[in-house]
Amino acid sequence: MSERRGRGRGPRENRNQGQDRRPRAPRVEISPARIAAYDVLRDVEDRDAYANLALPSRIREAKLDGRDAALATELASGTLRERGRYDRIIELAANRAVGDIDTRTLNVLRLGAHQLLSMRTAAHAAVNESVELQRRVANQSGAGFVNGVLRTIGRSTPVEWDAKIVETASSPDEALAARDSHPSWVVRALRDALRAEGREQELEDLLAANNEPPRVSLVVLPGWHSGDAEALADGDDLTANGPSPFGLELAGGDPARAIEALGFPEGVVRVQDQGSQLAALALTRLRPVKEGERWLDLCAGPGGKTAVLGAELSGYTVPVRANEVSEHRAELVRRSVAAVADSVDVVSFDGRESDAYGEADAQFDRILVDAPCSGLGALRRRPEARWRKQPSDLPELTALQGELLDAAVAHLAPGGALAYVTCSPHLAETRVTVDRLLKRHSGIRELDAKAVLQSVARGDLDLAGTSLSAQLWPHRNGTDAMFIALFERVS
């Protein structure tokens, strides 16, 4: 760029070129936070990276301080959450389908749109830095295109753009999907799940909740403090909000510092969604623990629920076998359970095969099947997931879920309890899977998961519908959309 601006000519030489040459605008400096945010979008788009992993890596790589790290986080996460809405606005402003725009330029436009429509960034700064970013990371000839599109976007308010989205949509569902930044098929799936509970009218609240960055939830593992987590809250940054009796919410700041300040041994306090905490507690608190029981976490990675299982067994000689098919994720489980390692044995096998259970005829008194799923229940925390999954992914996932459950039932001891958990509200992964399991296995019966969760939770849980299983929701319960079903072997 410096070569294009003058090729070494001084100001006097430029002035002597004549009046037909317009002076160049001074170079705009791009903030390191914007570059880091762009790199995260590129990692997600081109390398299938997870934003929650790519973002900290890019922040460390750029050596951003607290303020710039917060800016990079808002730019990257906010842009990913609102990507569908911004794409439609870009199409309207550019009069061009986003599929016809170079992906590098499109990511520059998405970041610019987020600054113009959802942040307090001055319009000239958002446009000028975006133009300069385009010149740096993509083709320089597209700088004028970026400038024109973003200036067009900046001439209308967010409310006006939402009205244009609705006016130009082919159907109400398409309008809702674009305005609230969810793929249409996800909108339909979420509506179906809410309708099954008689709560279809909550759809827009749910979509809005998916687009709100959640507060950081912590868990203090059971057995490491007296009473519940309320005694540990400071009432300011750290509060005992949420449904888990062992859960805390961090209003802001660095989670690592907040965890360190509590003074527990490493691994006792960690970041974990409270829906995940409740899913583990539903199995552990279903009935009193008896000496001699054997427990199994069949799909343990990355190990958050496994750690809760192990902590609940403090004072008992009850072993937990934690199986994870991926050796890499099995190592994450080992790190996660370090504080309760005496109770947990981590192995790595396919959960459908006998090796996962130790012996072909092994039986367990409690089994947790936290099955691989679409992840549609964690869209607040993993905003890019909504753009990666397709309806065509569901058949393979539901087949795997069924196979894992069948294998687990075969190793469930008489009178034993099984918890089926998915971080998804999609009916194909929840009630459909449960109903098919009950048809295949007459020797198990479903238990009242709602009643168990109510007995465990801090305060009253709003659990809708007539089924025995429980579906948690971000807009209603403040958790990820975790599904929990409980079973008992009766013969």
Q: Which residues are catalytic?
A: 423
DSSP state, residue 156: S
The annotation status of 299 as a binding-site residue, yes or no, is yes
CA–CA distance from 458 to each of 222, 251, 412, 484 (Å)? Answer: 14, 19, 30, 17
24 burial (CB, 10 Å; 0-12 / 13-18 / 19+) is: exposed
Distance, C-alpha 192 to centroid of its chain:
21
The annotation status of 65 as a binding-site residue, yes or no, is no
Query: What gap in Å lies between CA 425 and CA 375, rounded to an integer?
Result: 9
How close are the terminal C-alpha atoms of the chain, in Å?
76
Tokens encoding 327: 């050796």
The annotation status of 249 as a binding-site residue, yes or no, is no
The annotation status of 324 as a binding-site residue, yes or no, is yes
Strand-strand pairing, 247-250 and 238-239: antiparallel
Q: Which amino acid is at 12?
A: R
The annotation status of 465 as a binding-site residue, yes or no, is no
Tokens encoding 95: 């009069």
Query: What gap in Å lies between CA 119 and CA 132, rounded to an integer?
Result: 19
Cis bond upstream, residue 222 (ω within 30): no
The annotation status of 46 as a binding-site residue, yes or no, is no
Q: Which amino acid is at 238?
A: L
Q: Which amino acid is at 268?
A: V
Alpha-carbon Rg for the chain, nearest whole angstrom, is: 26
Closest CA to 485 of 445, 447, 441, 440: 447
The annotation status of 304 as a binding-site residue, yes or no, is yes
Query: What gap in Å lies between CA 389 and CA 447, rounded to an integer?
Result: 31
The annotation status of 290 as a binding-site residue, yes or no, is no
Contacts of 263 (CB under 8 A, 6+ apart): none
The annotation status of 478 as a binding-site residue, yes or no, is no
The annotation status of 6 as a binding-site residue, yes or no, is no
Query: What gap in Å lies between CA 468 and CA 487, rounded to an integer?
Result: 10
Q: Which residue has the tokens 């190592």?
A: 331
Closest CA to 254 of 64, 119, 383: 64
Annotated binding site: 299-305, 324, 350, 370
Binding residues for S-adenosyl-L-methionine, as ranges, are 299-305, 324, 350, 370
